[in-house]
Amino acid sequence: MTSSRRHHLKSLMLQIAANMLVAEAAEAEAEKANYMAENCPALSMPDSMQELQDLCKKLHQSIDKVDEERYDMESKVNKTDKEIDELKLKVVDLKGKFQKPVLKKVRMSADAMLQALLGSKHKVNMDLRANLKQVKKEVKEEEKEAVGDWRKSIEDKAGMGGRKKMFEADA
Ligand SMILES: *[C@@H]1O[C@H](CO)[C@@H](O)[C@H](O)[C@H]1NC(C)=O
């Protein structure tokens, strides 16, 4: 991929993300308006002492209810915050423990490698030779460079994808 294409894709993704943020903000605003319309209808001022007392009682009940909901949500948030903190600690811990293994080049023929991986129940050799006939020229040309890299060698010999699929499914 060229760097200008990479750059283009990146700005496309940023543009899409920006649009999503705008849409999300509009949605939150609409949700808030809906909630307010449902839960906070316009106040009609009471005409008498009795109506005023009723209104006060109702308001008190609403306050209690809302406060209960607030408490429940706050405990949920606290619980989730705690989980987030624990997970962050785990991430730090795992990062400290992970060591990149040093990979060595393996000098091994593809046949030997496949047999070591798949076991003797697979007739790897014979099947591979059948495939080899179809790609003989190709393999010969690439033999030299393939020696040091058994993966390349296996991919070539697997040819046509069939052997390779079997190999991946069993691995
Ligand atoms: C949530 O955490 C805050 C700060 O740690 C604390 O003050 C509050 O009492 C907690 N709330 C609940 C409902 O546990």
Q: By residue range, what is the domain housing residue 27?
A: 1-42
Q: How are the residues of the chain apportioned to helix, strand and coil, as percentages rounded to the nearest 5?
A: 80, 0, 20
CB 167 within 8 A of CB 158: yes
Residues 1 and 37 in one domain: yes
Segments in the chain below pLDDT 70 = 120-171
3-class state of residue 159 by DSSP: coil
pLDDT of residue 156: 57
Candidate of 68, 74, 85 to mutate for ligand 1, largest count of ligand atoms within 8 Å of Cβ:
74
Domain membership of residue 151 (yes or no) is no
Global confidence as pTM: 0.43
Number of domains composing the chain = 2
Strand positions, DSSP E, 25-130 = none
Determine the distance separating the centroid of ligand 1 and the alpha carbon of 71, expressed in angstroms. 9
pLDDT of residue 116: 80
Determine the distance separating the centroid of ligand 1 and the alpha carbon of 55, expressed in angstroms. 32
Rounded-to-integer distance, Cα 163 and Cα 169, Å: 10
Domain membership of residue 74 (yes or no) is yes
Domain membership of residue 131 (yes or no) is no
Count CA within 13 A, CB hemisphere, residue 138.
13
